[in-house]
């Protein structure tokens, strides 16, 4: 599997303001090579995510996906989901797998960690209140997976009116088809609300 986005094209509406926050989605051991949900090219994406986070760790927020203790602890179809993935419920999972990847963990603090129970960090977590408190209006999004939690994060941010920049070579998925489809969707259907750029372009346009 390949480690980069569908192409290196860049679509930005201008420089990133000082109020920009890097929102890194679910870069946990759970999705690393030792985890039950290993994402095959996560390790090749990781250096670019480290570069984004290390630019100014105080302006990075890491989300962590935290499964329920038991399948029955969540409503509706989540119960079916976690009966399929019972080994990932906290009753069965090694809690160390919920931690950030070792390359990112030393950045906390000053980076912030916000836990979430579902795909979107705008549901069931303190993310929105935290962003409002710090006056953030622009989100640079990286992490895993492009077509699941990153997708939910991006659309949640759009719904709340944030300027959203998806870093094409700093997101990854278990599915090349899903990854490519989402980048095509962002370009074609969300071009006014979702910007795309690679890591180099983001770092170049993000003042320190």
Q: Can you tell me which residue has the tokens 């980076």?
A: 111
Within a 10 A sphere around the Cβ of 197, how many other Cβ atoms?
A: 24
**In this predicted structure, what is the pLDDT of residue 35?**
94
- Write out the residue range of the structural domain in which residue 59 sits: 20-69+98-205
DSSP structural state of residue 180: H
- Domain count of the fold of the chain: 1
Within a 10 A sphere around the Cβ of 140, how many other Cβ atoms?
A: 27
C-alpha to C-alpha distance for 94 and 70, rounded to whole angstroms: 14
Average pLDDT over residues 97-113: 98
- CATH code, domain with 126: 3.40.50.850
CA nearest to 101, candidates 174, 176, 24, 175: 24
In a domain, 83, yes or no: no
Indicate if the pLDDT at residue 145 is higher than 90.
yes
């Amino acid at each position: 599997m390949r480690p980069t986005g569908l192409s290196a094209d860049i679509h930005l509406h201008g420089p990133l303001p000082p109020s920009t926050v890097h929102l890194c989605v679910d870069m946990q051991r759970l999705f690393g090579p030792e985890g039950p949900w290993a994402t095959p090219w996560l390790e090749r994406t990781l250096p670019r995510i480290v570069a984004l986070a290390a630019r100014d760790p105080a302006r990075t927020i890491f989300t962590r996906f935290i499964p329920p203790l038991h399948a029955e602890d969540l409503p509706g179809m989540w119960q079916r989901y976690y009966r399929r993935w019972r080994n990932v419920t906290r009753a069965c999972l090694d809690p160390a797998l919920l931690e950030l990847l070792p390359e990112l963990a030393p950045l906390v603090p000053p980076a912030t960690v916000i836990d979430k129970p579902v795909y979107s960090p705008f549901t069931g977590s303190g993310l929105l209140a935290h962003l409002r408190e710090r006056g953030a209006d622009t989100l640079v999004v990286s992490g895993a997976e492009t077509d699941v939690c990153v997708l939910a994060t991006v659309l949640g941010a759009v719904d709340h009116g944030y300027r959203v920049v998806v870093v094409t070579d700093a997101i990854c998925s278990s599915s090349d088809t899903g990854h490519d489809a989402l980048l095509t969707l962002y370009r074609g259907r969300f071009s006014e609300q979702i910007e795309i750029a690679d890591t180099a372009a983001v770092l170049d346009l993000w003042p320190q």
